[in-house]
Structure 1
């Protein structure tokens, strides 16, 4: 009888939007080593809130780096967006079995999903036909993060996703509370959003410049069936998110008033 050897370990691509030097991506990559063969591809500088941007107007550089502190894990830095990182790594290194993004410095809840670079990296994996999971952690009140509990849970969840798979065009958006979690809740996307404000000032030459700021709001903050409510109740929030944005319940209604040509 021929010995076929051990089964191949799953290939896991880890990306983020905080940059390759972020402690969150290091914690995640090291935790996933026990689950599969990990490779890291991340922006060379912070790319928070860039959304699902793809760079098409200039060339991109994809450089192996040993200076980022990943030890034996192959790590590459990209002078582009989180989505760029997933595209380049998939084409240059081979198709992974799973794309994992994070752990982000700060939560990604509610409307954050529309501009989050962390979630965008997972969306790009999904667009390439690869199961994907995004991980984020609520900011600590003192600006400090303890990634150990989240990274350990991420490894357990990733093992389940690799074993069971995900439905087509569905990713998981996972958020950890700032304190040690007291449980896990499968949630829906809540109503968390930012009330934008514009701060206008003048530079030394008298020319106006503007800062976009905002205040976090959530009408359903006390509802722990939502992502925001669960995290603020000290729970890990796991939200299945579908790439299909069609409002199917409105197809007939809109069809009733759209004018013909």
Structure 2
């Protein structure tokens, strides 16, 4: 089995190194990761400049082939797929910090798994809650192995990936969860440079409801959270109402609208 590993924290992150060494027990591992941190870049693909794809021995992966890319996590999956051959599994992480709930919309870690899924490759995103005192990923990497093994053996349905989050403490067990409303409550900080010109920092703090059964609840309770995520963003529960409001004939004979006077233009 061939496993492509990437992340958004960069090729020198301890999380990706722990994951790469752990997954060697399952097959041939290849690392393709950003050369610098690419956190919160979402599912960006670089199309307006060329990309560099360089083999590196400086990241400490030993015999594992490792390549650095001056692009996004999604770029790494695309280049790894086309330059090294289609893998049997894409694993992204282990991210420094959780990716829960609405974090998925901007997470580079999850975006790499989304890109793998869009290419028809079973994909998993791994993230870990961390403490300020230390960054330790050995336990999470150990637990990632049976999850990855299960996916290699069982596969995943088309258009579905797994989002896995580990608690910072030794896990009590594993919970199959749904996405929470966990998100960053944004604030904008205004500052001035030495010339008196304004610039801004987008900052904030994490927030969300710890509803039972959600990924946030599981991690806060000390469990590994495993959430199946679909790439089909269709709101099926709302689709019927739209169909009733906009039948096929609507374009040919749209409802009459009130005329606008000069003041409305």
The counterpart of 1:36, out of the listed 18, 27, 38, is 27
**What SS does the aligned partner of 2:81 have?**
helix
Deviation at 1:224, TM superposition (A): 3.6
TM-score (norm 2): 0.92
Q: Which residue is 1:126 aligned to? A: 117
In 2, the alpha carbon distance for the partners of 1:22 and 1:224 equals 32
- Where do residues 108-187 of structure 1 align in structure 2 (5 Å cutoff)? 108-140=99-131, 142-187=132-177
RMSD of Structure 2 on Structure 1 (CA): 0.9
Q: Which residue is 1:63 aligned to? A: 54
User: Residues 19 and 46 of structure 1 are in contact (CA less than 8 Å); yes or no, is this contact kept in structure 2?
Assistant: yes
Large movers: runs of 4+ above 3 Å: none
The counterpart of 2:222, out of the listed 211, 234, 237, is 234
Cα deviation digits, residues 15-53 of structure 1 (max 9, x gap):
000000000000000000001100000000000000000
User: Residues 55 and 80 of structure 1 are in contact (CA less than 8 Å); yes or no, is this contact kept in structure 2?
Assistant: yes
In 2, the alpha carbon distance for the partners of 1:255 and 1:53 equals 32
In 2, the alpha carbon distance for the partners of 1:90 and 1:242 equals 21
Deviation at 1:143, TM superposition (A): 4.3
User: Residues 145 and 178 of structure 1 are in contact (CA less than 8 Å); yes or no, is this contact kept in structure 2?
Assistant: no
TM-score (norm 1): 0.94
Cα deviation digits, residues 220-247 of structure 1 (max 9, x gap):
x1x3410011001100000000010001
In 2, the alpha carbon distance for the partners of 1:126 and 1:51 equals 15
Identify unmatched segments of 5+ residues in structure 2: 253-265
In 1, the alpha carbon distance for the partners of 2:49 and 2:62 equals 31
Cα deviation digits, residues 80-112 of structure 1 (max 9, x gap):
000000000100000000000000000000000
**What SS does the aligned partner of 2:104 have?**
helix
Larger-Rg structure: 2
Q: Which residue is 2:258 aligned to? A: none
Identify unmatched segments of 5+ residues in structure 1: 1-9
**What SS does the aligned partner of 1:34 have?**
helix
In 1, the alpha carbon distance for the partners of 2:216 and 2:171 equals 14
Q: Which residue is 1:204 aligned to? A: 194
Q: Which residue is 2:235 aligned to? A: 247
In 2, the alpha carbon distance for the partners of 1:29 and 1:70 equals 8
Q: Which residue is 1:100 aligned to? A: 91
**What SS does the aligned partner of 2:74 have?**
helix
In 2, the alpha carbon distance for the partners of 1:229 and 1:145 equals 22
In 2, the alpha carbon distance for the partners of 1:260 and 1:103 equals 49
The counterpart of 1:260, out of the listed 248, 251, 263, is 251
Structure 1 residue 17 corresponds to structure 2 residue 17: no
